[in-house]
Structure 1
Amino acid sequence: MDLELAGKSALVMAASSGLGRATATQLAAEGAEVAISSRSQENLEEAKNHIVEETNANESAIHPIVCDLSDSESIRPAVERSIDELDGLDVLVTNHGGTTPKYFADATVEEFDDHYNSILKSTIIVVKAALPALKESGGSMTHLVAATAREPPTGLIFTSTIRSGLFGLSKSLATEYAADNIRSNCVCPRSIMTDRIESKTEQVAQRDDVPFESVLEDRKVELPIGRLGTPEEFARTVTYVASPAAGFLTGTVIPVDGGWSKSTQ
């Protein structure tokens, strides 16, 4: 299937590693020119090298842009610079770092503020900065939101409250900007084997004094598909959703979680 991404321009936030980098890699493999953002210039250069090696993309087609999503003042200039370097914008992929596991009783108001700033507020600023260019192109916005935000477990109060706000934001954007031919969707990962998941699994194994593979098996058991997903599988879904090939898809929340979600809507 031709996703019609050749020659298109894309910006992927928080893209120096994990699902962000995998998404940027897949977009580049489909022929898009891609700006990648992260707060570390060194990590961005490593990510650029990885993308070029994996896709044979021209080095000039991958644009590293330093942006700290926890620093509100740095976001708009970074997005505007990305759009300038790309000479426009067809695809926006918003992304952010993880949340701190906590119960409500242990969470402080200041911690809620920090998570709001780095997740929901940062996404709002990114979208506001990108909208003029997306209006010109009739482009797409795809928001990466952890699947646990749809079915909140205990002990993840910041995910349950802050990340879930991204669903409402995306749906509202889909409705408000449909007349501009802008689409907005959420794609929700769960149990995708990134370096972060591997690190969290190792921490649990050390804490409980059990083998790493045992903790990994526990993760697999909760998935009807019976295995963990790969970043590449997730990235292919995001790339399709963001592409012109999915032109009639907007306002949706799509889980990529091996069947973990139980919701019928």
Structure 2
Amino acid sequence: MDIGLADSRALVLAASSGIGKAVATELAREGAEVVIAARDETRLAGAVDDIRDGTDCAADAVDYVVCDLDDPESVEAGTTDAIDELGGLDVLVTNHGGPSTVPFEDLTMSDVDAGYQGILRSTVQACEIALPALRDGGGAITHLVAVSALEPGPRSALCNVFRPAIYGLSKTLAESYGDDGVRSNCVGPKGIASDRIENKLRERAEREGITRDEALEQRLADLPVEDLGDPETFGRVAAFVSSPAADYVTGSHVPVDGGWHRHAF
């Protein structure tokens, strides 16, 4: 199935590893010209090599810009540089690193300020910078935001505050810029195998005095499937939602969670 991404221009934030990198890989595999962004240039360069090696894309079809989501000036410079390098923009994929998982009672105001910048403000800022290019011919904004934001848990105070705001932002962008041909959707991971999942498994094991494998068993007990999801699976879904093949999908949330989210509506 050709999903129509050939020759599209895409910027993927926080894409030097994990689900961001997986999405960038699938966009490149589908023929898009991709720029990935993150704070660590060494990891970015390695990710670019991995994407080139893992796809049939041309060497010049994938590049990177340094963009630290914790720094507003870096967000502006990185987003602007990427759009200039691409000569426009058809797809913006917003993403962010995972904040610490702490209960409300352990939060400091410094944690809140950092979470606001790294999760919410950076996402709004990148969208604001990208919108003129996206409105020039239409395009898609795809927000990678954990599906667990729909069912807040007690140990994720920062996520519970800022991630739902991205859902609201996505709805607002879909309503505001649909006439310009700009779509906005959220694709929600849960239980996708990644470094972050491994860290959370180790944290849970240490907190509860169990092994890492026992922590994994507890996590899988919440799912109707038998294992964690592949990053490649998540990447394919996000690439589809970002593509012209999904041209009637906007203002929506697409969970990729192995059935974890059980609500009918």
Answer yes or no: same fold by TM over 0.5.
yes
Partners of 2:36 and 2:147 in 1: CA distance: 23
Partners of 2:132 and 2:235 in 1: CA distance: 26
Q: Which amino acid aligns with 2:79?
A: V
Matching residue of 1:193: 193
What's the secondary structure of 2:136's corresponding residue? helix
What's the secondary structure of 2:93's corresponding residue? strand
Partners of 1:217 and 1:142 in 2: CA distance: 31
Partners of 1:154 and 1:208 in 2: CA distance: 15
Q: Tell me how far 1:209 sits from its aligned partner.
A: 4.0
Partners of 1:103 and 1:210 in 2: CA distance: 20
Moved more, 218-227 or 156-165: 218-227
1:115 maps to 2:112 = no
Cα deviations across residues 28-73 of structure 1 (Å, max 9, x unaligned)?
Answer: 0000000000101100000000000000322211111000000011
RMSD, aligned α-carbons: 1.1
Q: Tell me how far 1:109 sits from its aligned partner.
A: 2.3
After TM superposition, the runs of 4+ consecutive aligned structure 1 residues lying more than 6 A away are none
Matching residue of 1:222: 222
1:10 maps to 2:10 = yes
Partners of 1:159 and 1:212 in 2: CA distance: 23
Matching residue of 1:56: 56
Q: Which amino acid aligns with 1:137?
A: G
Partners of 2:21 and 2:219 in 1: CA distance: 23
Partners of 2:161 and 2:66 in 1: CA distance: 28
Q: Percent identity?
A: 46
What's the secondary structure of 1:27's corresponding residue? helix
Partners of 2:199 and 2:105 in 1: CA distance: 26
Q: Tell me how far 1:172 sits from its aligned partner.
A: 0.4
Partners of 1:207 and 1:156 in 2: CA distance: 15
Q: Which runs of 5+ in 2 are unaligned?
A: none
Partners of 1:17 and 1:137 in 2: CA distance: 30
Partners of 1:21 and 1:258 in 2: CA distance: 20
Matching residue of 2:130: 130
Q: Tell me how far 1:215 sits from its aligned partner.
A: 1.4
Partners of 1:104 and 1:207 in 2: CA distance: 17
Q: Which runs of 5+ in 1 are unaligned?
A: none
Q: State the TM-score, normalized to the length of structure 2.
A: 0.97
What's the secondary structure of 1:214's corresponding residue? helix
Contact 1:89 1:137 in 2 (8 A): no
Partners of 2:6 and 2:81 in 1: CA distance: 21
Matching residue of 1:101: 101
Q: Tell me how far 1:137 sits from its aligned partner.
A: 2.5
Q: State the TM-score, normalized to the length of structure 1.
A: 0.97
Matching residue of 1:88: 88
Q: How does 1:247-258 map to 2 (within 5 A)?
A: 247-258=247-258
1:23 maps to 2:23 = yes
Aligned residues: 265
Q: Which amino acid aligns with 2:177?
A: Y
Contact 1:63 1:85 in 2 (8 A): no
Matching residue of 1:233: 233
What's the secondary structure of 2:92's corresponding residue? strand
Partners of 2:207 and 2:264 in 1: CA distance: 35
Partners of 1:202 and 1:121 in 2: CA distance: 29
